[in-house]
Amino acid sequence: MDAFRKHFPDFPKGRLIKSESPDFILKTSPKHSIGIELTSLPSASYSVNNLNFNNFISDIHLSILKKEEKLNNYRKIHADEYWLIIYADSIETSAINLNNYKDMFKANNCFHKVFLFQLFEQVIFQIEN
């Protein structure tokens, strides 16, 4: 979470509180909060050599769907927004233009924002906003 916060320039200021469901609550003011859930892609690393593109897109989609199933539990904290951060050790997205696939992820997505975070490269791609 610290690495994401450090590398996302638009990360809101506020007090970040470790939680269970969702993983973090960001209190941006006494009356406004953001619930943040973290999840990893099933495969720890994707590269041009081992990247099966359909599996990659499917893994992202499945990660979103699995966390959406828990969204009603997250809503018990009564946050104003809910974010999902999907992370992987390494993803060579230079070979892929993820912007072409944003609509695939929006169809059933109930999170306010969804991010794909490459841990090793410290690159953040916003899937949904």
Q: Which residues pair with 40 in a beta bridge?
A: 87
Average pLDDT over residues 76-104: 77
Q: Does residue 86 contact residue 64 with C-beta atoms inside 8 Å?
A: yes
pTM for the full model? 0.85
> In terms of residue numbers, what domain contains 76?
2-128
Amino acid 121: pLDDT: 79
CA distance 27 to 16: 6
The residue among 109, 102, 108 whose CA lies nearest residue 127 is 102
Question: What tokens were used for 13?
Answer: 């200021």
pLDDT tens profile 20-44: 899 999 999 999 999 999 999 876 5
Domain count, the chain: 1
pLDDT surpasses 90 at 45? no
Q: Are 26 and 15 in contact (CB under 8 A)?
A: yes
Q: How many CB atoms lie within 10 A of CB 70?
A: 13
pLDDT in the model for residue 109: 67
d(CA 120, CA 124): 11
